[in-house]
Structure 1
């Protein structure tokens, strides 16, 4: 039993590292595209239409199909991607669609009067965004962004189908090599739940700090 446990956890922790790396990279690489999409949706019709089509496609189609398209079809265009890079690209393109809606909702929640008052004071658009819109929008968006990160971690379990050695694939390999699927998958479940709880705790801590800071001001 001890030998089995000792064999399971190093492999699963290695897979967990890959899972978190892919999830965090997808979140960060998807953020700039999400901001552009959010701005496009708020812009004129020529920008809203293509942005809306993009968001509808990536929000409305299965992530598994998106992963397979990126991994198997992109090489036909002459661009070879490793499984890990393909996973990050697919998840980044997917999360950008969801993040854009989060950013749009956060910016819309800002009282228009504050922006108008800043314009009357002669503040530049960049100053208004950085010092008035962004701080308030971030506080509003934070719970949704934490939720999106949790969703990314869960969705990353699908990358095992393109041979990425994430937590789920490692659990499959351990289950096959030890003939103890219950131990392997239960251990993987514990790790997924732990990461979800930790992300929720980090989000709650940030919310409290931002609330205290805004209250102090």
Structure 2
């Protein structure tokens, strides 16, 4: 069998693993973003206790390996007698980890918004929630987009650890193909290219959205 024929044989499994990695990462990034907003609100409105708890959360998830966090969240429910699907544990681990990093990124963005702008919005009768979602978050997204994209890429790459809890993601598929083909180099080169495609598509999408926003503001 030629190299081209072998690579073609890997395609269905690699595509399946890539789709699994893509949707798990996408959901985790979204969960992380929402949790990061909640951390910001708790940090700014929760007093000294809120700041202390958020600092502890961020320190834990930024200072411990993602693999350890994943295994803790996977085995903890079992220890408590709760049957948790591996996909839920995967999304929780990736999402909570990403929230810690995204919260620091977003905090810098929120700090860049002039306070006078918020006072003006409040004077016009907007509630704190309306100011957050209609004024602050759109600006923060524009200000922090490069950093958020970088963090999202890290989550996609970090999702390779999900294979340890029997999720058929891209890395696990690579291991399965290696066990069958006994050709680890060409299998893992194919896996690496699949990860590269995912991250490149994310960068292209972010660039498209950024250009579209610039055109809309210029119009």
What TM-score do the two structures reach when normalised by structure 2? 0.92
Determine if the alignment matches structure 1 residue 48 to structure 2 residue 51. Answer: yes
Q: State the partner residue of 1:167.
A: 170
User: Residues 21 and 169 of structure 2 are in contact (CA less than 8 Å); yes or no, is this contact kept in structure 1?
Assistant: yes
Report the count of equivalent residues. Answer: 216
Matches within 5 A, 1:174-189: 174-189=177-192
Match for residue 32 of structure 2?
30
Within the alignment, does 1:77 sit opposite 2:80 as a pair?
yes
Question: CA offsets per residue over residues 129-185 of structure 1, 9 Å max, x none?
Answer: 333222211211222222221111100001111121110111111111011111110
Judged with a 3 Å threshold, the aligned counterparts in structure 2 of structure 1 residues 108 and 77 are, in CA distance, closer, same or farther, namely same
Report the CA distance shift for 1:180/1:77 in structure 2 as closer, same or farther (over 3 A): same
Equivalent residues of 2:22, 2:198 under 8 A apart: no
Q: How far did residue 123 of structure 1 move?
A: 3.2
Q: Which among 5, 21, 27 is matched to residue 19 of structure 1?
A: 21
Matched, 1:119 2:91: no
Q: How far apart are the structure 1 equivalents of 2:115 and 2:77?
A: 43
Given candidates 188, 191, 214, the residue that maps to 1:211 is 214
Local SS of the residue matching 2:104: helix
Q: Pairwise mapping of residues 98-109 of structure 1 onto structure 2 (< 5 A)? A: 98-109=101-112
1:18 & 1:166 partners in 2: Cα distance?
5
Give every structure 1 segment of 4 or more consecutive aligned residues whose post-TM-superposition deviation is greater than 4 Å. Answer: none
- Unpaired runs of 5+ in structure 1? none
**Aligned counterpart, 2:98:** 95
Distance 2:77 2:34 in 1: 22
Residue 155 (structure 1) aligns with: 158
How big is the shift at 1:5? 2.0
Give the drift of 1:46. Answer: 1.5
Q: CA deviation at 1:122?
A: 3.5
Please list every run of 5 or more consecutive structure 2 residues that lacks an aligned counterpart in the other structure: none
Match for residue 39 of structure 1?
41
1:198 aligns with 2:201: yes
Structure 2 CA distance, aligned partners of 1:159 and 1:127?
37
